[in-house]
Structure 1
């Protein structure tokens, strides 16, 4: 009987192992997600403003408590960072004289609700009191007239709660709507508790700018996923995942680093499609057709939602489902058609992303930017056109 019992135990153990192995081999569904989408008019109204900051793009939201993967609480603060921004006043349905575009601004929101009284915009000023960008490149590699557009950022809880933001050094190289070029990648560090215009910030040139023989460029900082327990990640592995975009195909790149090593650029590794390697030149294109700003968010069922504007600049907000923070990623799933926002043929849509710290459980608040290739003439007719729009994606359940 004892021998029979041992055999039974061994058989059950083997069967359990086999079941676990079969379960582990089951492929993750990367093609289906049940959801509904609607506009978020209260968030749209928050950024439809008549004076001060009245337009901008490049919106990222950074919860200052460092908890990236859960909604901010009523007393928490969320930092918004914008790239090119319009400062001035609107009168009689147009821009009043004296308006100015600056290259970046910030805003602070108390809580996670779109309450105008709880949101304060900030920018710098010059000696004459004229609006100026908050972040101006001052690194060794900076050339005169370079300016910053901003990538994603986060609060690093392992490095004294400093805020880290990627800055793309941009240079004007011609005229017209696309007369600019990204020329370098910078990391901006803001000490915890510092207030705009952040006189004690630090700027570091990074090696995370890529060029190849075909003239394609790439850069990291398009999105950040903080996969740590302190950040509220559901399946933490302790790494910070930083996403890059390369070439006209808008190919997605992935790097990762431990929070404590974030400033040690030689400790970063890059996904080559199979392994994590130190050589950035071997980084793989893990998917394509994304946008230069994007987001990755954990879904309730253990998968990941990559949110972006399809192809960088199109009328469709898209999503790819990922099995892990670095893929594989499934096909493009259309989330939203932005064409109703395009009042003029000259309007364009770009750079969609999700804001998990501003989202209710089971939902994703998503923004996308509206701009014009005939910028000032269209702004004179539609002075509130140049601002993010918001939609709300409600995740009903997943198809497994």
Structure 2
């Protein structure tokens, strides 16, 4: 069972009594209202068939996507099940479990990249010298700059023996060779209480890479914003948005939106900056919502419900919805979300449960 997923879901449940609805929901949006939503059958079948038959990757969470220089797409995952799916559609009890992996989709041909070997896979990026049961990286959003893949890293450490005894301790950036996903370097970022890498937005007009992060207080979650000159994510000093100004203080950024999930997306869609997220203003919410703004730093308003996840109920919960602007078009947002269960045995009994879902929202 993925500890982070359970923690995020329980935190969302606590939020109901402690967190008012996000105030950024009153003003109208310039985007058209969604007119229909349907399952993206192409992605669903592609990844479902691969997971069930390839004997390699059988499911994961997170699911960021980024286009690579050769035209293929890298899918960036955090907690990942490896191995085979048995004849009953389940996972063997000894299925390898990793904290991060990548699948490259080359025109429908999928290839999984991990560390270790195919027979004994390990997380693609590990904390140097650490026991991964005690210290590990989860992946955030990713981007390509100067021909290499940069993936945001969130470092966590185990603090006790309980399932929820772990904490966030730092941010870093992994640099990988997109030709074979070999790790080139890990660059630590300045100490910060913000989990950076929830979303990345590239702005070719002003020459900056913008990185969104989350101030995760469990019962309350707030989006923050930073930037760095394009092409220098690991080499230039970052700046942090603070109430209309940019500061060099990693802990000096201000809150720009309340009620986001730990992972979300920000893109330019129909003339507006568009933020898609799971609705963290409700306990264990099944809602996927959208906010828009005329400015990247907000305010984000016009809260619009895009979809209610049908899987949610009983032990099953959904989380970390995000759009994939590289896969949609001017009238459609391709959105993924994660599915999980509070009952760890469910993930072994039904391998299809712990996999991202894909939908198309048409406007």
Which interval holds the TM-score relative to the shorter structure? 0.7 to 0.9
Pair 176,33 (structure 1): closer, same or farther in 2 beyond 3 Å? farther
Q: How many Å apart are 1:31 and its aligned residue? A: 7.2
Residues 192 and 251 in structure 2, CA contact (< 8 A), matched pair in contact too: no
Pair 146,135 (structure 1): closer, same or farther in 2 beyond 3 Å? same
Residues 150 and 167 in structure 1, CA contact (< 8 A), matched pair in contact too: yes
* Count of residue pairs the alignment pairs up: 326
Residues 317 and 352 in structure 1, CA contact (< 8 A), matched pair in contact too: yes
Say whether 1:88 aligns with 2:59. no
Partner residue of 2:201 out of 217, 225, 241? 225
Q: Distance in 2 between matches of 1:89 and 1:386?
A: 14
Relative to the length of structure 2, the TM-score reads 0.83
**Structure ranking higher in helix proportion:** 1
Say whether 1:348 aligns with 2:334. no
- After TM superposition, the structure 1 = structure 2 runs for residues 1-400 of structure 1, keeping only pairs within 5 Å, are 29-30=28-29, 33-36=32-35, 37-48=37-48, 49-50=51-52, 51-65=55-69, 76-93=71-88, 94-111=90-107, 115=108, 118-125=109-116, 129-138=119-128, 145-156=134-145, 160-174=146-160, 178-191=164-177, 193-196=178-181, 198-199=182-183, 201-207=184-190, 209-210=192-193, 218-228=194-204, 236-246=205-215, 247-248=217-218, 249-265=220-236, 267-300=237-270, 302-311=271-280, 313-338=284-309, 340-342=310-312, 345-375=314-344, 377-395=345-363
List alignment gaps of at least 5 residues for structure 1. Answer: 1-27, 66-74, 211-217, 229-235, 396-400
SS in 2 for 1:365: strand
Q: Distance in 2 between matches of 1:387 and 1:190?
A: 24
Residues 202 and 210 in structure 2, CA contact (< 8 A), matched pair in contact too: yes
Deviations 1:251-283 (A, max 9, x none): 010011111432235x32111122122223321
Q: How many Å apart are 1:175 and its aligned residue? A: 5.0
Pair 346,83 (structure 1): closer, same or farther in 2 beyond 3 Å? same
Q: Distance in 1 between matches of 2:78 and 2:264?
A: 14
SS in 2 for 1:360: coil
Deviations 1:270-318 (A, max 9, x none): 1112212222332110111001111101012x21110111118521111
SS in 2 for 1:345: coil
Q: Distance in 2 between matches of 1:161 and 1:324?
A: 29
Residues 208 and 220 in structure 1, CA contact (< 8 A), matched pair in contact too: no
Residue 13 of structure 2 corresponds to: none
What's the Cα RMSD here? 2.2
Residues 208 and 219 in structure 1, CA contact (< 8 A), matched pair in contact too: no
Q: Distance in 1 between matches of 2:180 and 2:76?
A: 13
Q: Distance in 1 between matches of 2:238 and 2:189?
A: 11
Relative to the length of structure 1, the TM-score reads 0.76
Residue 18 of structure 1 corresponds to: none
Q: Distance in 1 between matches of 2:32 and 2:305?
A: 11
SS in 2 for 1:42: helix
**Structure ranking higher in strand proportion:** 2
SS in 1 for 2:198: strand
Pair 268,41 (structure 1): closer, same or farther in 2 beyond 3 Å? same
Pair 365,175 (structure 1): closer, same or farther in 2 beyond 3 Å? farther
Q: Distance in 2 between matches of 1:169 and 1:143?
A: 13
List alignment gaps of at least 5 residues for structure 2. Answer: 1-26
Q: How many Å apart are 1:325 and its aligned residue? A: 1.4
Pair 354,130 (structure 1): closer, same or farther in 2 beyond 3 Å? same
Bigger RCO (CA 8 Å, 6+ sep): 2
SS in 2 for 1:91: coil
Residues 85 and 92 in structure 2, CA contact (< 8 A), matched pair in contact too: yes
Q: How many Å apart are 1:98 and its aligned residue? A: 3.2
